[in-house]
Copies of this chain bind each other. A is one copy, B any other.
Amino acid sequence: MEPSRYIFSTEFAVRDYECDIQGVVNNANYLHYLEHARHEFLVSKQISFIELHNEGIDLVVTKVEIEYKFPLQGRDKFVIRLNLIREGNIRLVFIQDIFRLPDEKLIARGRVTGVATKNGKPVPPGNLISKLGLQ
């Protein structure tokens, strides 16, 4: 996507223990990075998992799509930039792209779909929408 569309970014550095026997970050760890970046975003919007949970609302990931373009190696620095879009009444979709720093090489493209659930059933995201700056 065009850079101007990202609404949040988080910087990371690869830790050696995140690399596997091939000397690159293990594929599963990218999902950890993406999760951490989403949580940082939600915190920046004053959205508290614990308060939501106490209101009976949980945020749940229903789908992850990730394209691996180029591997990260030990000690690489990188940034995750994200955007957020609605899909229908229920789903929120996080676009999360990973770029190595400082050369801005595209490392991976992620698309993470989530829903709000109440008692285990999907519900419209309600006032999360305004907190998230969506319409």
Contact = CB atoms under 8 A, between A and B. Distances in A.
Nearest to A37: B15
Interface string A59-92: 0111111111000001100000000000000000
Given A62-B67, A64-B65, A75-B43, A21 B16 contact: yes
Contacts of A66: 63-65
A29 interface: yes
Interface of A: 15-17, 19-23, 26-29, 31-32, 35-36, 39, 43, 49, 58, 60-68, 74-75
Given A61-B68, A64-B68, 12 more contacts: A15-B35, A15-B39, A21-B74, A26-B35, A28-B28, A28-B35, A31-B31, A43-B75, A62-B68, A63-B66, A65-B65, A65-B66
